[in-house]
Structure 1
Amino acid sequence: MSRRRSGAAVRGMSQREIRENIKLAREYALLGNYSSASVLYRGLLDQIRRTKHAVRDGSVQQEWQQLWQQMNAESQLLQGILSTLEKNQIEPSPAKASNHEDWDMRPLHSEQRHFPCPIRRPDNPYKDSKSPNNRQNAAVKAQQRHSHRGPTGERSKAPRDKEKKEAAGKAKEDKEKEVKRFDGAGYDKDLVEALERDIISQNPNVKWDDIADLEDAKKLLKEAVVLPMWMPEFFKGIRRPWKGVLMVGPPGTGKTLLAKAVATECRTTFFNVSSSTLTSKYRGESEKLVRLLFEMARFYAPTTIFIDEIDSMCSRRGTSEEHEASRRVKAELLVQMDGVGGASENEDPSKMVMVLAATNFPWDIDEALRRRLEKRIYIPLPSTTGRVELLRINLRELELASNVVLDKIAEQMDGYSGADITNVCRDASLMAMRRRIEGLTPDEIRNLSRDEMHMPTTMEDFESALKKVSKSVSASDLEKYEKWIEEFGSC
């Protein structure tokens, strides 16, 4: 009886030892230490064979045989990797395993082990495992000593130096990729996050060529934003960059589109700010937002702050309708704008912050703000040439019939804004579809093929659209804009 118990204890210890060695061999294989893993696998195959022969039960012997075949397959796979590395003269080094499935095999009486993250290799891997197989330990240690020593027997410093160089290069690369983050210490975290959301990180994808006509406006914006970046030595002193540009004109003439082109083409940090961004129900919060906006703009400089419909935020002060909170916000905005460009005439252009504003009601803007917006340019209705160019831009993806003459259509749209011309093109492009589905049931419409709906837009479609879409700007409105720009313009 005692002899049986002794045999069972030996088998139990042997199984436990095999389980530990399997885990260790796979761990070394996953870490890329293939030489040590190979030594362990050879010892494992020997150990499993001896254990199998010591067992008399046929079914248990079959299980041990299956485990031996499994470990042999893993060992063969490892030998293949080693031979490939030797063939290509690549020195095996510890690394992340690229494919866990190759090693995802379940040994007999052992738990499956997954490695969701890289395993940190211990200084002495056998210190914790306490494997009783001293021959294996000696073989692995000899292999490790051999792999870390050069041909003269001295410990090689090359791998360590190589690792240091790689780590230094990676740290430098990470530093270059690191995005500048504004430190909002002293400000409410929510306020900082609200303004960071207004930074346009995605490209609006509007090029200068996508904007018809408006050559004077494009030239001025390039001069105000782009050239100081290219020629910083020139734009100093009296030639310092403009600190504020106001775009004035009727609705739909392309003021916001110009701002999008600035964001796309000029490679500056672009804040798209509205009155709602700088408004808070809490007393004193709106002024803090204005100050925080300009501090962030200086931090991310060069920066362009675009304020659309600025008249809603900076109307004339001193009127009976003006609220006290609104007056404080305007005062803070004026102070911050004066502190951006006028603080130093020798300021570096790469640190500039320019305010780009747009309005349809320039006569409502406060006089002090008008003074700070140094360049005031008029964005007029498109000319005849501009209207033809706008038609080409809007219809570039549309198939036109042979009888469509763009010059003739442009002549009929005198007094139309850019938005009006876009509406005419959109309405004309739908005319053919309207004719095709007229009188059809919903089921018949759903069953129409794509080819049946593919019909070119004709001249008659444009004639019909022109009768339906009228111009949105009156002659009296144009007269007011022209009078204001004649008095206060600074092109």
Structure 2
Amino acid sequence: MDSSYGNFSYSQQRSTQSPMYRTADSSISSVSRGNGFDRSAEVSSLAFKPTKQLMAPDQQRKFSGQSSRAHTPPSFASLKGSLGGSRSGEAFGKFASSVMSEHGDEHRPHLPHAMPGLAVGTATSSAHSAEDQLKGSDPCLVEMVTTEIVQQGPPLDWSDIAGLELAKATIKEEVLWPMLRPDMFSGLAALPRSILLFGPQGAGRVLLGRCIASQLGGAFLRLSGSTLVTKWLGEGEKIVQAAFLVARCRQPAVVFISEVDMLLSAQLSEESPVNRIKGELLMQLDGVLTSPEEHVLVVCSTSKPEDIDESLRRYFMKRLFIPLPDSTARQQIITQMLSQHNYCLSDKEVALLVQRTEGFSGLDVARLCQEAAVSLLHAMPGADLTTMLPSQLRPVTYQDFENVFCKIQPSISQKEMDTYTEWNKMFGCSQ
């Protein structure tokens, strides 16, 4: 967790029961401090239970012991065609970070330090009410939400995301702090409980959503607007309702909705079946915005902010532009990607790569590095890869990058970037 939270004695509480982030037995302390939410409630009180197997001890140690190498949790890679499945244009990996703590996602909020201003009883009552509603829901639907929309994986730190310093600072200061320390923000105007992240694909919006959940020590639920209006059109509104019920049971929780423009488009006709999903989503957003005692945060993402009905922009109290990576961020990505391979590039050649990737998204830069590394294998058509050791491959050189620049071009046009910049000037919060 960001060190700034340590000033108020906030560290993520560890849990031996959490189906989201398990930790090795050796790291469990009999006395632990939380970020304001008690995970000690019994799991049996939940109206539903995930059926996915908890991570094995060796996997727990793997997640809790890694600090600088990029790693992708198996559950992310295995979700195909699901509501929470990762889009290729949304995330581009992780970067070097300090040792990350394991977080739990139990459902009952409680403040062990008795900080003033946190409505513990009301939030707990909300969780119980959500449990009661889940008991009457379709078990198969709840099972699908629990296993596919609730995403599992190791926690993220801000340093795992290259660049985006303005967006990260805004989220920490104006979204996370009010949730973690409501006693310090009492009496102020309505605090942000729903935010919109907009910008080009592959810039790191999903990573930001996952990091927010990690900083809250909460569950991360991911919905896809495109999947809701295609594959799950007939059941879309029920899935949205169930997802928010699960979030309230597991609060603190982050509900992340990608491609939200497909649900809130101004182009929807009155007869469109998508309107049922839209109506349910707006009702849930109203519930979140009018229930400040609940610890549920809605993070929506879009690469087409101009398509969102202008009358619905008011639902997003913070609208943050997530731009392409600057030169410093691109250098971080390139360095991290190269660290996973044997390479032979001088500082001058790395600087030249950073210069030549101007206008690339984070995903574009990552693909460029991957293509350069794979090109080594293409240059060995007769080699037996089944018996070859990684040490037998020659180092990646600048010439390998030179050879693949013709294949990997920026996926975002300057016209698109101009559109984002103009929309940000008019409606964004990070001008």
- TM superposition score category, shorter chain reference: 0.5 to 0.7
What are the Cα deviations for residues 167-223 of structure 1, in whole angstroms up to 9, with x where unaligned?
A: xxxxxx996565633342332222222222245352254432221100112222333
Match of 1:488 among 423, 427, 431: 427
Q: Distance in 2 between matches of 1:445 and 1:428?
A: 20
Shift of 1:389: 1.5
Q: How does 1:199-210 map to 2 (within 5 A)?
A: 199-200=149-150, 202-210=152-160
Match of 1:468 among 382, 404, 407: 407
Counterpart of 2:279 in structure 1 is: 331
Is 1:268 paired with 2:207?
A: no
Q: Distance in 1 between matches of 2:211 and 2:177?
A: 15
RMSD: 2.7
SS in 2 for 1:355: strand
Q: Distance in 2 between matches of 1:235 and 1:467?
A: 52
SS in 2 for 1:305: strand
Shift of 1:425: 0.5
Given the superposition, is the C-alpha separation of residues 402 and 411 from structure 1 closer, same or farther in structure 2, using an over 3 Å criterion? closer
Q: Residue 467 of structure 1 aligns to which amino acid in structure 2?
A: C
Given the superposition, is the C-alpha separation of residues 238 and 460 from structure 1 closer, same or farther in structure 2, using an over 3 Å criterion? same
Given that 1:245 and 1:373 are in contact with CA atoms closer than 8 Å, whether structure 2 keeps it comes out as: yes
Counterpart of 1:421 in structure 2 is: 365
What are the Cα deviations for residues 409-467 of structure 1, in whole angstroms up to 9, with x where unaligned?
A: 101111111111011101111233333x14x2xxx525763266332111111222223
SS in 2 for 1:237: coil
Shift of 1:342: 2.8
Given that 1:341 and 1:353 are in contact with CA atoms closer than 8 Å, whether structure 2 keeps it comes out as: no
Given that 2:318 and 2:429 are in contact with CA atoms closer than 8 Å, whether structure 1 keeps it comes out as: yes
Counterpart of 2:323 in structure 1 is: 380
Shift of 1:407: 1.2
Is 1:455 paired with 2:399?
A: no
Q: Distance in 2 between matches of 1:290 and 1:468?
A: 39
Q: Distance in 1 between matches of 2:176 and 2:284?
A: 23
Shift of 1:340: 1.4
Match of 1:180 among 46, 53, 57: 46
Given that 1:273 and 1:308 are in contact with CA atoms closer than 8 Å, whether structure 2 keeps it comes out as: yes
Q: How does 1:370-449 map to 2 (within 5 A)?
A: 370-403=313-346, 405-435=349-379, 437-438=380-381, 440=382, 444-446=383-385, 449=388
Q: Distance in 1 between matches of 2:334 and 2:199?
A: 21
Counterpart of 2:119 in structure 1 is: none
SS in 1 for 2:197: strand
5+ residue gaps in structure 1? 1-172
What are the Cα deviations for residues 242-276 of structure 1, in whole angstroms up to 9, with x where unaligned?
A: 11111111111111222222233431122111233
Given the superposition, is the C-alpha separation of residues 174 and 419 from structure 1 closer, same or farther in structure 2, using an over 3 Å criterion? closer
Is 1:359 paired with 2:302?
A: yes
Given the superposition, is the C-alpha separation of residues 179 and 428 from structure 1 closer, same or farther in structure 2, using an over 3 Å criterion? farther
SS in 2 for 1:238: coil
Q: Residue 394 of structure 1 aligns to which amino acid in structure 2?
A: M
Shift of 1:300: 2.3
Q: Distance in 2 between matches of 1:408 and 1:281?
A: 47
Q: Distance in 2 between matches of 1:174 and 1:228?
A: 23
> Normalised by the size of structure 1, how large is the TM-score?
0.57
Higher helix share: 1
* Greater relative CO (CA pairs within 8 A, separation 6+): 2
Given the superposition, is the C-alpha separation of residues 179 and 462 from structure 1 closer, same or farther in structure 2, using an over 3 Å criterion? farther
Given that 1:403 and 1:458 are in contact with CA atoms closer than 8 Å, whether structure 2 keeps it comes out as: no
Q: Residue 365 of structure 2 aligns to which amino acid in structure 1?
A: I
Q: Distance in 2 between matches of 1:198 and 1:243?
A: 24
Q: Distance in 2 between matches of 1:426 and 1:397?
A: 10
Given that 2:194 and 2:298 are in contact with CA atoms closer than 8 Å, whether structure 1 keeps it comes out as: yes
Q: Distance in 2 between matches of 1:420 and 1:175?
A: 44
> Normalised by the size of structure 2, how large is the TM-score?
0.64
Counterpart of 1:340 in structure 2 is: 288
Given the superposition, is the C-alpha separation of residues 225 and 488 from structure 1 closer, same or farther in structure 2, using an over 3 Å criterion? closer
Given the superposition, is the C-alpha separation of residues 200 and 332 from structure 1 closer, same or farther in structure 2, using an over 3 Å criterion? closer
Given that 2:233 and 2:274 are in contact with CA atoms closer than 8 Å, whether structure 1 keeps it comes out as: no
Given that 1:251 and 1:360 are in contact with CA atoms closer than 8 Å, whether structure 2 keeps it comes out as: yes
Given the superposition, is the C-alpha separation of residues 227 and 455 from structure 1 closer, same or farther in structure 2, using an over 3 Å criterion? same
Match of 1:237 among 187, 192, 198: 187
Counterpart of 2:167 in structure 1 is: 217
Q: Which runs of 4+ in 1 moved over 6 A?
A: none
Counterpart of 1:101 in structure 2 is: none
SS in 2 for 1:273: strand
Given that 1:433 and 1:453 are in contact with CA atoms closer than 8 Å, whether structure 2 keeps it comes out as: no
Match of 2:263 among 306, 313, 318: 313
Q: Distance in 1 between matches of 2:413 and 2:40?
A: 57
Q: How does 1:62-73 map to 2 (within 5 A)?
A: none
Given the superposition, is the C-alpha separation of residues 229 and 371 from structure 1 closer, same or farther in structure 2, using an over 3 Å criterion? closer
Residue identity (%): 32
Shift of 1:310: 0.8
